[in-house]
Structure formats: C-alpha cells, structure tokens
C-alpha cells in the first residue's frame, strides 16, 4: 500500500506538529520519528510493551540494590487444633 496524502503542519507551543489524516489513523499514544539521510521523515507507531517484555528489558539489580538474604526464618507453623 503506497498512499500519499498532504498533511497540515502547525505550531504546538515551541514544537512543530503534523496533523495525521484520518485514513492513516492508528492505535498508539506515541510514535517514533526518524529522519533519513535525504531528509524524509518516517513515522512509526510505538506499540505498548507487554508486562513480560517490560520486565525482560529491565537491567538486573546490582548487589547493593538487592534485598538481603533472609537469615532468621519465621518459626514453624503451630497446630492449634481443628477449627470448626
């Protein structure tokens, strides 16, 4: 699919913005904008990461940031008899 549309460019505060035509509507809160060597702008929707993907992308904790090892374990459970 190679569809070309003319889009409106406007000022939004101190930034320039592009009004995306309805035909190109997509489900995303963010886009990646890339400028090619010849000056073309490429806009790609950023897909939200799943929780597993987000957790996998996190750096492991350093030794000083880890929780200390548990040395004093809780006592063994006590049998208080049957409850009715």
Predicted TM-score (pTM) of this structure: 0.50
- Please tell me the distance from the alpha carbon of residue 15 to that of residue 24, in angstroms, as a whole number: 22
Q: How far apart are the first and last CA of the chain?
A: 70
Give residue-wise pLDDT tens across range 31-72: 999 999 999 999 999 988 889 988 999 998 888 888 888 888
């Amino acid at each position: 699919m190679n569809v070309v549309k003319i889009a409106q460019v406007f000022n939004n505060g101190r930034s320039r913005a592009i009004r995306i035509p309805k035909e190109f509507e997509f489900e995303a809160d963010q886009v990646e904008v890339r400028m090619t060597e010849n000056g073309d702008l490429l806009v790609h929707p950023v897909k939200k990461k799943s929780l597993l993907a987000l957790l996998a992308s996190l750096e492991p904790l350093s030794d000083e940031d880890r929780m200390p090892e548990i040395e004093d374990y809780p006592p063994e459970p006590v049998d208080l008899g049957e409850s009715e």
